Structure 1
Amino acid sequence: MSLALVGGFLSYSIGGGLYSTRQEQVLAESERAVIEVQNTFSSSSVSNEVALQTLMNTIVPSIESTGTTNSRRVALLRSPGQPAVQVLQSPISADLETSIIPAELRAKVRVSTGKLLYQSVSIPVAGSVHPGIVVGAPVQIPLAGNYELYLVFDLNSEQQTLDFVQRTLVFGGLVLLLMIGAISFFVTDWLVRPVRLAAEVSEQLAEGALDRRLPERGEDILAVLARSFNKMAQSLQSQITQLASLSKMQQRFVSDVSHELRTPLTTIKLAGDMIFAGRETLSPPVKRSAELMHDQIERFETLLNDLLEISRYDAGAVTADLEMQDLNGVVGMAIAGIEPLAMSKGSEIRIDIPQGSVDAEMDSRRIERLLRNLLANAIEHGEGKPIHVAVGASESAVAVTVTDEGVGMSRTEVDRVFDRFWRADPARKRTTGGTGLGLAISLEDTHLHDGWLQVWAKPNEGASFRLTLPRRKGMVFTQSPLPLPPKKAKKRGDE
Structure 2
Amino acid sequence: MSVSIGNDLFQSRLNQVLVDSSRAQLAAQRTFDAAQTGDAINLDSVMGSARSDIATVSSSRMITVYRVPGQDFDPAAPQDFESPGLDGQVISDDLREGVEENAEGQWWQSVGFSGSENGSPGIVVGQRFTAGSAGDYELYMGYDLSDQEETLQFVQRTLFVAGLALLALVGAVAWVVVRIVVLPIREAAETSERLAAGELEVRIDRTGDDEIATLARSFNEMADTLQSRIRELAELSLVQQRFVSDVSHELRTPLTTIRLAGDVLYDQREDFAPATARTAELLHTQVERFELLLADLLEISRYDAGSAELETEPTSIARLAEDSVEEMGDLARQHGSELLLVAPGGYTEIDVDPRRIRRIVRNLVGNAIEHGEGRSIIVSVDSSETAVALAVRDFGLGMKEEYAERVFDRFWRADPSRRRTIGGTGLGLSIAMSDTKLHGGSLDVWSRPGLGSLFRLTLPRSPGGALGISPIPSPPTDIESPSLATVDPTERRTDVTP
Does structure 1 residue 24 correspond to structure 2 residue 15? yes
Whether the 8 Å contact between 1:310 and 1:441 is mirrored in structure 2 is yes
Which of 334, 340, 343 lines up with 1:350 in the alignment? 340
2:481 alignment counterpart: none
Which of 236, 240, 259 lines up with 2:230 in the alignment? 240
Aligned partners of 1:355 and 1:97: how far apart in 2?
97
Query: Residues 494 and 123 of structure 1: is their aligned pair in 2 closer, same or farther, counting only changes over 3 Å?
Result: closer
Report the RMSD for the aligned CA atoms in angstroms: 3.8
1:406 alignment counterpart: 396
Which deviates more, 430-439 or 154-163?
A: 154-163
Amino acid at match of 1:138: F
Query: Residues 385 and 136 of structure 1: is their aligned pair in 2 closer, same or farther, counting only changes over 3 Å?
Result: same
Whether the 8 Å contact between 2:29 and 2:129 is mirrored in structure 1 is no
Query: Residues 420 and 173 of structure 1: is their aligned pair in 2 closer, same or farther, counting only changes over 3 Å?
Result: farther
Whether the 8 Å contact between 2:204 and 2:220 is mirrored in structure 1 is yes
Aligned partners of 2:435 and 2:26: how far apart in 1?
114
Aligned partners of 2:167 and 2:317: how far apart in 1?
69
Aligned partners of 1:257 and 1:371: how far apart in 2?
28
TM-score of the two chains, using structure 1 as the length reference: 0.81
1:258 alignment counterpart: 248
The equivalences for 1:314-333 within 5 A come to 314-333=304-323
Aligned partners of 1:369 and 1:250: how far apart in 2?
25
The equivalences for 1:65-464 within 5 A come to 67-68=58-59, 71-77=60-66, 81=71, 84=74, 86-90=76-80, 92-97=82-87, 100=91, 102-108=95-101, 111-112=103-104, 117-120=106-109, 122=111, 125=114, 130-141=121-132, 145-148=134-137, 150-157=139-146, 160-161=149-150, 164=153, 167-168=156-157, 171=160, 175=164, 178=167, 182=171, 186=175, 187=177, 191-214=181-204, 226=216, 229-230=219-220, 232-354=222-344, 357-464=347-454
The SS at the match of 1:416 is coil
Query: Residues 379 and 148 of structure 1: is their aligned pair in 2 closer, same or farther, counting only changes over 3 Å?
Result: same
Whether the 8 Å contact between 1:352 and 1:490 is mirrored in structure 2 is no
Amino acid at match of 2:109: S
Aligned partners of 1:376 and 1:83: how far apart in 2?
125
Aligned partners of 2:24 and 2:215: how far apart in 1?
79
How big is the shift at 1:217?
Answer: 5.6
The SS at the match of 2:328 is helix
Aligned partners of 2:439 and 2:245: how far apart in 1?
24
2:485 alignment counterpart: none
How big is the shift at 1:424?
Answer: 3.1
1:3 alignment counterpart: none
How big is the shift at 1:390?
Answer: 1.3
Deviation readout 1:242-294 (Å, 9 max, x if unpaired): 33222211111100001111111111111221222222222222222222111
Aligned partners of 2:356 and 2:74: how far apart in 1?
130
Amino acid at match of 1:416: R
Aligned partners of 1:472 and 1:47: how far apart in 2?
119
Whether the 8 Å contact between 2:346 and 2:389 is mirrored in structure 1 is no
Aligned partners of 2:386 and 2:15: how far apart in 1?
91
Whether the 8 Å contact between 2:444 and 2:456 is mirrored in structure 1 is yes
Which deviates more, 17-26 or 255-264?
A: 17-26
The SS at the match of 1:368 is helix
How big is the shift at 1:24?
Answer: 3.3
2:48 alignment counterpart: 57
The equivalences for 1:29-40 within 5 A come to 29-40=20-31
Query: Residues 314 and 61 of structure 1: is their aligned pair in 2 closer, same or farther, counting only changes over 3 Å?
Result: same
How big is the shift at 1:165?
Answer: 6.7
Whether the 8 Å contact between 1:123 and 1:131 is mirrored in structure 2 is yes
Which deviates more, 432-441 or 355-364?
A: 355-364
The SS at the match of 2:453 is strand
Query: Residues 402 and 123 of structure 1: is their aligned pair in 2 closer, same or farther, counting only changes over 3 Å?
Result: closer
Whether the 8 Å contact between 2:342 and 2:493 is mirrored in structure 1 is no
Which deviates more, 88-97 or 407-416?
A: 88-97
Amino acid at match of 1:261: L
Aligned partners of 2:166 and 2:22: how far apart in 1?
47
Which deviates more, 51-60 or 324-333?
A: 51-60
Whether the 8 Å contact between 1:409 and 1:457 is mirrored in structure 2 is yes
1:4 alignment counterpart: none
Q: Which runs of 5+ in 1 are unaligned?
A: 1-6
Q: Which runs of 5+ in 2 are unaligned?
A: 479-488
Amino acid at match of 1:351: L
Deviation readout 1:345-368 (Å, 9 max, x if unpaired): 222222223489553333333322
Whether the 8 Å contact between 2:387 and 2:470 is mirrored in structure 1 is yes
Amino acid at match of 1:305: A
Aligned partners of 1:366 and 1:385: how far apart in 2?
27
How big is the shift at 1:380?
Answer: 1.7
Whether the 8 Å contact between 1:14 and 1:162 is mirrored in structure 2 is no
How big is the shift at 1:51?
Answer: 5.6
Whether the 8 Å contact between 1:418 and 1:443 is mirrored in structure 2 is yes
Paired positions, count: 478
Aligned partners of 2:110 and 2:399: how far apart in 1?
91
Whether the 8 Å contact between 2:200 and 2:227 is mirrored in structure 1 is yes
Amino acid at match of 1:311: S
TM-score of the two chains, using structure 2 as the length reference: 0.80
Query: Residues 176 and 424 of structure 1: is their aligned pair in 2 closer, same or farther, counting only changes over 3 Å?
Result: farther
Aligned partners of 2:128 and 2:430: how far apart in 1?
108
The SS at the match of 2:417 is coil
Aligned partners of 2:205 and 2:231: how far apart in 1?
23
Whether the 8 Å contact between 1:15 and 1:162 is mirrored in structure 2 is no
Deviation readout 1:315-353 (Å, 9 max, x if unpaired): 444433333334333223323433343233222222223
Identity of aligned residues (%): 41
Aligned partners of 2:131 and 2:492: how far apart in 1?
127
Which deviates more, 358-367 or 369-378?
A: 358-367
Which deviates more, 253-262 or 282-291?
A: 282-291
Deviation readout 1:82-107 (Å, 9 max, x if unpaired): 57484444555355426727443443
Query: Residues 30 and 493 of structure 1: is their aligned pair in 2 closer, same or farther, counting only changes over 3 Å?
Result: closer
